Amino acid sequence: MPCNNQCLQYKAIKETGTRYGIGQKRCQVCDIFINWNGIFCPCCNYRLRSKPRNNKYKDGFKASQIKSNLNVKTKFVGTGKNPNLKIFVDDSYLKMVPRLPYEQFHLLKESISKNGLEEPITVNQDGKILDGHTRYQICSMLHKTVEYKIKRFKTIDDERRYVVSTNLERRQLRPFQIVELTQAIRRDLNKQVREEANEYLSKLRTGKIEPTPKDERLKTSTRYRLAELTGLGSCTIDKANYIIDNGLEHEIELARSGKASLEVVYNKVKNRRHGDPSIQVKRNDRTFPSCSRCGSDTRFVGKCHVHSKYCCKNCEWGV
């Protein structure tokens, strides 16, 4: 008689078509599947596989991802006239939020199968899902009616902030994952801060307002606004943003998985960048990373969203 954990694994393998779908990894030397958070096998120290190679199992692994199902039955439960929208999944909003682990996914699936959908999903006026991607997927799998409500926003920025804020309140995420979740609104906040700073300078030059203290001006910066939204410290946000802007893929994955602390990954990225001769400039007998576009010092700026390179104020504003 298999235990409850084995039953969960059997159901997961049946639904996803592969053991990789439930988070297991395979050692080719030991020829076994194991539940292990590390990259290498604990007994032979061989690198573990986390994705299938066979095309048959690749399709099953990909099928476990959330997709739009326009054939699913929908029901409007909000206020006003029934709009009869076609609900669909938008990849940009889907990638903003990390997916639930299989154990939590299975518990939510059992709850919906027994009690139904207790909380309807949220969509915008076009039918794009803003909150409730996992509930939508489960209802599609169980052939249940998807209940939805419409939430309208004035701008796309407000819509993105809603997606971020609702998932920050509900999910248990690591600090780096929380900062990753706010990247969708980080650029919009930067733009808003620059506009407010230009308006403040213009009013200050014309004498319409008095100079505000430096401490109060710092509280209007992007880092402090993200700190208020996430509940993290401003230094933690700066280090996480530095890793996202300058880190390599394996360094970002290291911070995302929690295998190394944020401080360790930050120092690793910083030391690598300062040791790279291709992005260095000497100034006052000290070496700093240089802008890849104009060659100036870039100690206090990040990756330019226009050129996808390290830029600075001398050539293009790029934070």
The domains of the chain are located at 4-57, 74-170, 175-275
- What local confidence, expressed as pLDDT, does residue 59 receive? 41
> pLDDT tens, position by position, for the chain (319 residues)?
445 555 555 555 544 446 776 667 888 888 888 888 777 888 888 888 877 766 544 444 444 567 788 788 888 888 777 788 889 988 888 877 777 766 677 788 888 888 888 889 999 988 999 988 888 988 888 888 999 999 998 888 788 888 888 877 666 778 888 888 888 788 778 888 888 888 888 888 888 888 888 778 778 888 888 888 888 888 898 899 899 888 888 888 888 888 888 899 998 888 887 666 555 555 555 555 565 556 555 544 444 444 444 455 555 444 3
User: Token pair 């969203």 is at which residue?
Assistant: 305
CA-CA distance, 273 to 262, in Å (whole number)?
Answer: 17
Q: Quick one: pLDDT at residue 291?
A: 59
CB 188 within 8 Å of CB 160: yes
Distance CA 164, CA 167 (A): 6
For the stretch 94-101, contacts whose Cβ atoms lie closer than 8 Å and that sit 24 or more positions apart, written own/partner, are: 94/66, 94/133, 96/160, 96/163, 96/164, 96/167, 96/181, 96/184, 97/133, 97/163, 97/167, 97/171, 97/181, 98/171, 98/173, 98/177, 98/181, 99/66, 99/134, 100/134, 101/23
